[in-house]
Amino acid sequence: MGLGELNEVDRALAAEVADWRRRGLGRSVGGGGTDGRVAVDFTSNDYLGMAGNAAVCAAASEAAREHGAGGRAARLLGGGSPKTADLEHQLASWLGADAALLLPSGYQANLTLMAAIAGPGDVVVSDEDNHASLIDGLRLSRATVKVFRHADAEHAAALLEESRGARRVLCVTESVFSMGGDRAPLVELSEACARLGAGLIVDEAHAVGVVGPRGRGGFAASGAASAPLVAQIVTGGKALGAAGAFIAGSQALVEAVIHKGRGFMFSTAVAPAVVGALEASIGLVADADPAREILRAHAVRIAAAAGAPEPSAAIVPILIGDERRAVAAAEALRAGGLGVRAVRQPTVRPGAAQLRVACHAQHRSQDIDALLDGLAPILGAGDGTVRAGDTDGAQRAVETVSSPSSLTVPPPPVFIVGTDTDIGKTVAAAAVARALDAPYWKPVQTGEDSDSRTVERLAGPRPDAARVIAAPAYEFPLPASPHTAAAAAGAVIDPEVLHVALGDRVREAAPAPLVVELAGGLHVPLTASYTQADWLARERPRVVLIARSGLGTLNHTLLTLEALRARRLTPSALILVGEPHAENAATLAAHVDHLFELPTLAPLDPGAIDAWLAEHPLADAIRRE
């Protein structure tokens, strides 16, 4: 506030931020551009150097001189410059679309587009790694969202298939993913959309200018059939070097956004300088094939040296795993003049922190040499240690970051989620842990019975380790909902404690996945205002849903599936525990990828579980992701 005193809200916010910083998740914005220490920028998305291109900058100043500094008003109220419509035509014809509409940013374009063309009653099938702006746009749309496993066209097709009959069905993906740098399977997605009557939306933020004939992006590069393509989003702030974003598609699509897109209708038009810059840069970028080749060669070289998969475009992700180690590695590179960012949760999964290297066409080969030298100790090619205070190259950091395990991402945990309490969840958890040869953890235990002990007995020990990885983070004697049991013991559950403990347990469990058993049903509160469902939404784990077999199963199970889907979680499997019930199983099989019936086992011991597992491919169903 600048008044020297913090109010209640500010104090709480300051505590939250301090906690993020403590856990290696602190962020700061700095002054923009590269700071004095950074000689080579491997962070920004200015892939072709257009942001500093003399002709682009001159076009921006000229447009400002001619048409003023501001957009003045929303387009529908006469805002924008006379050149805006020309620019939209230029972009559309470059891309091969009928029409395009310019918005102030890619974030706003995605929000506006999704909310304008999808709504209640519609289904949107969305890649799990899609950008936050697409996810937020889908939330705003209130359409039913079904999330498919990253770049898994088969899973997307299955979700499209089960959504037939909805009012409108769409599939949305990035063409080149902003963090992984990999490409979407656009040929397969386009084929599935065509076959199943769905429309395809492709965010080309990291592809336009970088891949495809004349830099037209990932869709053009893929050779996919264009019939189901409804929209492409092209951002102006990355390879095009300026700002803003285009929604490109048919005339009908653009008109729909003009009529229904609130982010277009109620927002001031893009400033003339941006329009001028984009007009100049699109021309240059279309003709920049030689620059694209250089860019690709840089990315291929870095990926090969770092042991990363062959890059699809300009981005090379280097997995580090632990958040603090990723920050230390980025800091070490920065000290050596190399601007590389650590990417951490929530941008990527907890425990999957990475260094994101963005190649630019204007990098010289000695810049790449310097980066590879800087990466060597981080990747363990040197003596394995990144040293504090070492000023040679990038070898300054605070921790060792090179043990091989730190370079592998732990698999996501498998959460065992119930539709209710007392339904056989612990037996199912034991079966899952045994099937995956995985350690088990019960984060919150209420009541005198210990689920950990039950699982230890039923699943037996692991070949070289205990089955139960750690004691619960919270244990309360009252057999009640966690928030009630905590209150009875004069305690409060802190979701942050659970989150941090989960991250630690997941890393300890690696390379095995951690099996985590929740308390009672999905919506059980952990605090007065935070349920297990909220926690799940934050962690994005794999989910195995457990229901009891019998009367009431259908309603409980369908409600829980709906609640999971609302949080973008698709269970890997549903296990119905108890007497097999053919009708229930047949009905529910249509709603999940894999359904298993786990009858009451007698005797209930590891041998009986093994006999059941021999007949039921539970591990395959869960590992398929």
User: What residues line the site for ligand PMP (CB under 6 A)?
Assistant: 105-107, 110, 131, 133, 174, 178, 203, 205-206, 235, 237, 245
CB-based contact 565:145 (threshold 8 Å): yes
> Which helix (DSSP H) or strand (DSSP E) does residue 65 occupy?
helix 54-67
Whichever of 107 and 264 has its CB closer to ligand PMP, that residue is 107
Contact of 381 with 510, CB cutoff 8 Å: no
Judged by CB, which is closer to ligand PMP: 112, or 362?
112
| CB of residue 494 to ligand PMP, shortest distance in Å | 32
Measured from the CB atom, is 174 or 279 closer to ligand PMP? 174
Could you list the active site residues? 45, 131, 174, 178, 203, 206, 238
Q: Between residues 107 and 596, which has the closer beta carbon with respect to ligand PMP?
A: 107
Residue 27, burial from CB neighbour count under 10 angstroms (0-12, 13-18, 19+): exposed
Torsions phi, psi of 154, nearest 5? -65, -45
* Among 362, 144, 103, CA closest to 236: 103
- DSSP code per residue over 459-518: H--BTTB-SB-S--SEEESS-S-HHHHHHHTT----HHHHHHHHHHHHHHHTTSPPEEEE
> Token digits for 346?
């929530």
CA distance 415 to 543: 5
Distance CA 334, CA 356 (A): 13
Cβ 153 to ligand PMP, closest distance in Å?
19
Is-contact 337 307, C-beta < 8 A? Answer: no
Q: How far is the CB of 178 from ligand PMP (least distance, A)?
A: 3
Residue position matching structure tokens 């979680």: 569
Q: From CA 266, how far away is CA 269, in angstroms rounded?
A: 9
Q: Name which of 525, 477, 531, 470 is nearest 502 in CA terms.
A: 470
In the complex with ligand PMP, the residue whose CB is nearer, 206 or 467, is 206
Judged by CB, which is closer to ligand PMP: 100, or 436? 100
Report how far residue 565's alpha carbon sits from residue 584's, in angstroms, rounded to the nearest whole number. Answer: 20
CB of 330 to ligand PMP, least distance (A): 18
Q: Measured from the CB of residue 181, what is the shortest distance to ligand PMP in angstroms?
A: 11
Q: Which residue is nearest to ligand PMP (CB)?
A: 106
- Least Å distance between CB 496 and ligand PMP? 27
